[in-house]
Amino acid sequence: MNKTKNKNSHIANNLLIVRKSIGLSQRAVAAALYIDRSTYTCWELGRSEPNYNNLKRLIDFFNKFPLPITLSFQNLLDEDLAEKGFFKTQA
């Protein structure tokens, strides 16, 4: 398995930024989501990406913490999805 970070994974970088900004370990986030720590680590390293259901769970989890709007995981995720073409932009 290639252990280098997927440089195209904004979700991975955003998970890292948000998690560190609230001072939680990977283990703590994984435990809160009832997933294996290695699964969360792979998401954060860009080796894989969470599916839709897990993205929803991540948003719900991170929304429990007071974050500046610029660090809101929902906002960061919306930017990622828009960049990948999931949202139409207004002309």
Q: What is the pLDDT of residues 64-79, one digit of tens each?
A: 888 766 566 677 677 7
**Architecture of 10-83 per CATH?**
Orthogonal Bundle (1.10)
Return the biggest CA–CA distance within the chain: 43
| Domain edges within the chain | 10-83
Could you give the CA distance from residue 88 to residue 91 in angstroms, rounded to a whole number? 9
CA angle 49, 65, 53 (to 5 degrees): 30
Q: What is the pLDDT of residue 2?
A: 41
Q: What is the pLDDT of residue 25?
A: 97
Q: Is 73 helix (H, G, I), strand (E, B) or coil?
A: helix
- How confident is the prediction for the chain on average, in pLDDT? 80
Mean pLDDT of 9-35: 92
pTM for the model stands at 0.71
pLDDT tens per residue, range 41-54: 999 999 999 998 99
Could you give the CA distance from residue 46 to residue 40 in angstroms, rounded to a whole number? 10
